[in-house]
Amino acid sequence: SKLPPTCDSVIYCHGPLLDTVQMAGLYNDSKTFVDMKLKLSANITMEHFKEMMARTGSHPTKADIQEFVNQNFDPEGSEFEEWRPTDWKDNPAFLQRIKDPLLHQWASELNRLWLQLGRKMKDDVKMNQDLYSIIYVDNPVIVPGGRFREFYYWDSYWIIKGLLLSEMRSTAKGMVSNFMNIVERIGFIPNGGRIYYAMRSQPPLLIPMVQIIMEDMDDVEFLRQHIHTLDKEFDFWMTNHTVEVDHDGHRYTLARYTDQSQGPRPESYKEDVDVARHFDSNDMKEELYAELKAAAESGWDFSSRWFILNDTNKGNLTNLKTRSIIPVDLNAIMCWNAQLLRDFHTRLGNIDKAEYYRNVHARFMEAIEKVLWHEDVGVWLDYSLESRRRRDYFYPSNISPLWTGCYDLARKEYYVNRVINYLDKVKVDIFDGGIPTTFEHSGEQWDYPNAWPPLQYIFVMGLANTGLPEAMRYANEIATKWVRSNFEVWKQKTAMLEKYDATIFGGFGGGGEYVVQTGFGWTNGVIMSMLNKYGDALSAADAFGTGAAESGAVYGAHVGASGVATALLVVLASVAAGALGHVTCPARVTQSMRERSRGAGLGSRRDLGLMVYRKRRDYIGVSGGEDYKLLSRRPYTELRSLNGASNPRQR
Ligand SMILES: OC[C@H]1O[C@H](O[C@H]2O[C@H](CO)[C@@H](O)[C@H](O)[C@H]2O)[C@H](O)[C@@H](O)[C@@H]1O
């Protein structure tokens, strides 16, 4: 049977008007047109469109189409009025936790950015919803920024984290209340706050949003008032997104992203139609559109993570098979949701419901363990429904069960040790600008070399939450790089970006179908969270006076006193304790580091140059500075290849 369009509107979601305007390519960004406001009703606008088509013999020029749009639409952004969040304050308490004066000042400026990202809708939107593509909500929201002028579902989790640190409780709660209202009206939360997003969702983080609101405010009445809405959203995901997976003679229920609508994405209409030209039949084009929309639902639009070509992740957008992949992170989130709902219902005294969710949680735990965990690889991996095989590629989401606590906590050491070994093997900690999204250079924005804020957060907090020293050190190291690299961009541009470049210290993200956006909601929330967690010890630059990991991201072992003698003692003690494989100071490498350091103006450091070779990992620790630190974990070979080369960080 025929699927419905992305929404009913013949202006914003389907039909000849949308097709004519979007295919004319009037704007650099296809989203511009579908965010415009109608001057008159949809019916009258359609009459004007038909007249224009008749006048031009159904072959309007670009100028004819531009004139039609100018005469019938107001510019994008017409739905908002001036708004200053009433709960904004200039000195929230979390700032006091940040000791480094530069980072403290930066955090204070980030706190100020909420003032630029707040949006309140005009009353006219409520009264004349048909003239707008924006979905009306009662409470003002904080948007991501740039072209993203409406709420985004999963972005809002990190935005709300930041708002709570900024003590903007009423704005945060208002956003969650909007979501509750939307679930009641629409049945689930759309990808973003526009009607053209209303047939797909995004990673389901409403229930965790309520959890962080509860942690902050402990408002049981709020929970009681909305618990049924949370049940409803969870049901939506269970009903529409789960599949049965036969594995090793057992049947498991797991979730995946999908789409049940017809046609290209209205906000990227031309882009989608152009990719669909590779297919002849309408059915195949529709299959592609569904895969594109399912990928958008995942939040990773687009990525080689969703390509299947001969059971690999090679290819391009024509190879998208999002609906055939069971993603680790979605299932980790579903499992977490079930656990939180169990906790919420227990708190409210709803014993039967709590028992129901205890069961659902247990089933997700088992399915994640049996289908997605791999003892031999030492991590969780996405699963292909096509080949019934795991997809053994690195993604930060591979470790998301650590973040959501969806693994057997009684065997925590086992899982965490395996995961750390895995991370050492894939060597994702060698980059100066954070953890890359994948190792594939596809040109898509959720691929190498881009590094995305939510993924850094999931990665860092996942490791840190385990409470185990090696994992916490790893988390600290990545958080340090991320904060410093974001700060470097801020120093250059006074801007926060939606994504960065993992391979370049202070590098911008790129690729995909639109230019990198600034603002930026989740980026600010993630940095605030990291500064809140690590700000008591984190500095804007390391002991060498640079922020780059090249000269050493802080590894974490800060060992007082000074000098090589102390350092050696510490190293030997570490070896004795089994932390390092063996110690050697290869003269050639030591010499080259000295030269490089001198080149960087660091030659006067009297104790610079001790090298520690970590055999187990083939990584090197570098000592330096007044205090001894174990620093970079860059591979030995990479340090060698950097010898004498110009600084690769400079663009
Ligand atoms: O217009 C193209 C796509 O834009 C959005 O995706 C990207 O931005 C979102 C807001 O920051 C973010 O949630 C998403 O992860 C990004 O990939 C939108 O969500 C897509 O649906 C849309 O097609």
Q: Among residues 79, 62, 74, which one has the least CA distance to residue 25? A: 62
Whole-number Å distance between alpha carbons of 286 and 271: 14
Q: Are 523 and 453 in contact (CB under 8 A)?
A: yes
Q: Is the CB of 498 under 6 A from ligand 1?
A: yes
User: Residue 312: what are its φ and ψ, rounded to 5°?
Assistant: -120, 180
Non-local (6+) Cβ contacts of 28 within 8 A are none
Q: What's residue 544's pLDDT? A: 52
Count of CA atoms in the C-beta half-sphere (13 A) of 450: 24
Atom of ligand 1 at shortest distance to CA of 445? Answer: 17
Q: Is 377 exposed, middle or buried (0-12, 13-18, 19+ CB in 10 A)?
A: middle
How buried is 509 (Cβ within 10 angstroms: 0-12 exposed, 13-18 middle, 19+ buried)?
buried
Name the nearest CA neighbour of 559 among 612, 500, 477, 630: 630
Distance CA 520, CA 418 (A): 35
The residue whose C-alpha atom lies closest to atom 14 belonging to ligand 1 is 299
Q: What is the DSSP letter of 204?
A: -
Work out the pLDDT band at 541, boundaries 50, 70, 90: confident
Amino acid at 383: Y
Residues with catalytic roles: 301, 498
Return the residue matching tokens 């090298």.
611
CA 333 – CA 75 distance, rounded (Å): 38
Contact 400/372 with Cβ under 8 angstroms?
no
CB contact burial 469-500 (16+ within 10 A = b; e otherwise): ebbbbbbbbbbbbbbbbbbbbbeeeebbbbbb
Averaged over 348-377, what is the pLDDT? 98
Q: What is the pLDDT of residues 439-488, one digit of tens each?
A: 999 999 999 999 999 999 999 999 999 999 999 999 999 999 999 999 99
Q: How many CB atoms lie within 10 A of CB 278?
A: 12
* Res 607: pLDDT: 33
Does the pTM surpass 0.80? The reply is yes
- For residue 208, name the pLDDT band (cuts at 50, 70, 90): very high
Q: 507-508 and 611-614: which strand pairing?
A: unpaired
Taking the CA of residue 265 as reference, the ligand 1 atom at the shortest distance is 23
Atom of ligand 1 nearest to the CA of 154: 13
Report d(CA 294, CA 438) in Å as an integer.
19
Task: Calculate mean pLDDT across residues 243-267.
Answer: 97
More confident residue, 648 or 529: 529
User: What whole-number percentage of the chain has pLDDT above 70?
Assistant: 83
Alpha-carbon distance 506 to 648, whole Å? 12
Q: Is the CB of 196 under 6 A from ligand 1?
A: no
Q: Is the pLDDT of residue 555 over 90?
A: no
Query: Which residues 6+ apart lie within 8 Å of 616 measured at CB?
Result: 580, 581
Q: Cα(first)–Cα(last) distance of the chain, in Å?
A: 53
- Mind giving me the DSSP string for 122-151? -HHHHHTGGG-SBPP-SS-EE--BTTB-S-
Position 78 scores a pLDDT of: 94
Ligand 1 pocket test: which of 301, 447, 513 has the largest number of ligand atoms within 8 Å of its C-beta? Answer: 301
- Mean pLDDT along residues 271-288: 98
Q: Which candidate, 65, 89, 79, 78, places its Cα nearest to that of 17? A: 65
What is the Å distance from ligand 1's center to 99 Cα? Answer: 35
| Single-letter residue type at 451 | A
**Pocket lining: 265 vs ligand 1, CB cutoff 6 Å:** yes
With a cut of 80, say whether residue 201 has pLDDT above it.
yes
- Regarding the beta carbon of 200 and ligand 1, being less than 6 Å apart is answered no
Give Cβ neighbours of residue 323 (< 8 Å, ≥ 6 apart): 256, 257, 258, 259, 290, 291, 294
Q: What's the CA-to-centroid distance between 162 and ligand 1, angstroms?
A: 20
Distance CA 264, CA 285 (A): 9
Cβ of 293 less than 6 Å from ligand 1 = no
pLDDT at position 603, please? 28
Mean pLDDT of the chain: 87
Q: What is the pLDDT of residues 614-651, one digit of tens each?
A: 323 333 444 433 233 333 444 434 443 333 333 332 22
pLDDT tens readout for residues 148-179:
999 999 999 999 999 999 999 999 999 999 99
| CB of residue 302 inside a 6 A radius of ligand 1 | no
Q: In what order do the strands lie in the sheet with 500-501?
A: 450-451, 500-501, 507-508
Residue 298: its pLDDT value, please? 98
